[in-house]
Amino acid sequence: MRLHATSTPLFSSAASDGYKRRQKENSIKSAANKKAFLRDDRHAVAFAGRSNVGKSSVINSLLNRKNYARVGATPGKTVQVNYFLVDGAYFIDLPGYGYARVSGDERRRWGALMEDFFQEPNLFTMGVLIVDSRHAPTADDVTMAEYFFDAGRPFVVVANKCDKLKKSEIEPNLERIRDVLGLDDDFPLLLYSCTAKVGRRELLGFIENNI
């Protein structure tokens, strides 16, 4: 399926819950519980990553937009699944995790929502797990990778903010990511930088080949 990253987003009234079509640039469909998940057989790409990893910025860069997926002022504050319609397929922005200032209740809500989401593998076609290329993946990153593996859907790991790495750090850091997340040598792991425009073409190609 060919994605046109600069196309105007239009929400279809054919979605299963019948929400109305809106044309605001930042229009989203949000689901705070499993009853609100969209189940209308569209292809869907699920984006996951910890708070402050740049998940919204990656989505924006894929679509050549600045504010399509809003960058939250308070990371980890809202636990919900956000849907964007892009050329007939959903981009699903899963709630960020790992923000130190959220309450224990918010962390439990995140865990419950993610368990509900990944218990229905048909809710998405493929996944994009975004990690920080500068650091070892966190325990929460490992948990998210396990969610994707257990769902049996193809997914790619995106090592974001690679523009902040020295050239000599790139390969060792990628190897560390593979080791911590338990990725085979041939598992797709992409360097990415929104500011340096690295990895966008490769990530779009992976998405197009898997939906």
DSSP E strands: which ranges in 76-188?
81-86, 89-93, 126-132, 155-160
DSSP type of residue 51:
T
What's the burial of 73, exposed, middle or buried (CB within 10 Å: 0-12/13-18/19+)?
Answer: exposed
21-61 pLDDT, tens per residue? 333 334 568 999 999 999 988 999 999 999 889 898 999 99
The yes-or-no verdict on residue 19 having pLDDT over 70 is: no
pLDDT of residue 63: 87
75 confidence band (pLDDT: 50, 70, 90): low
> What's the rounded mean pLDDT across residues 122-137?
96
CA nearest neighbour of 194 among 56, 93, 34: 56
pLDDT of residue 96: 87
Helix (H) or strand (E) segment spanning residue 190: strand 189-191
CA nearest neighbour of 153 among 193, 110, 117: 117
DSSP, residue by residue, 144-176: HHHHHHHHT--EEEEEE-GGGS-HHHHHHHHHH
Residues 6+ apart with CB under 8 A from 64: 5, 6
Residues 190 and 198: their CA atoms lie apart, in Å, by 9
User: Across the beta sheet with 89-93, what order do the strands follow?
Assistant: 29-31, 81-86, 89-93, 44-49, 126-132, 155-160, 189-191
pLDDT of residue 98: 76
- The pTM for the full model equals 0.83
Mean pLDDT of the chain, nearest integer = 83
Contact indicator for 199, 193 with CB cutoff of 8 Å: yes
What does R_g of the chain's alpha carbons equal in angstroms? Answer: 16
Cα dihedral sign for 40, 45, 46, 47? negative
pLDDT of residue 194: 92
Residues 6+ apart with CB under 8 A from 27: 9, 11
155-204 pLDDT, tens per residue? 999 999 999 999 999 999 999 999 999 999 999 999 999 999 999 999 99
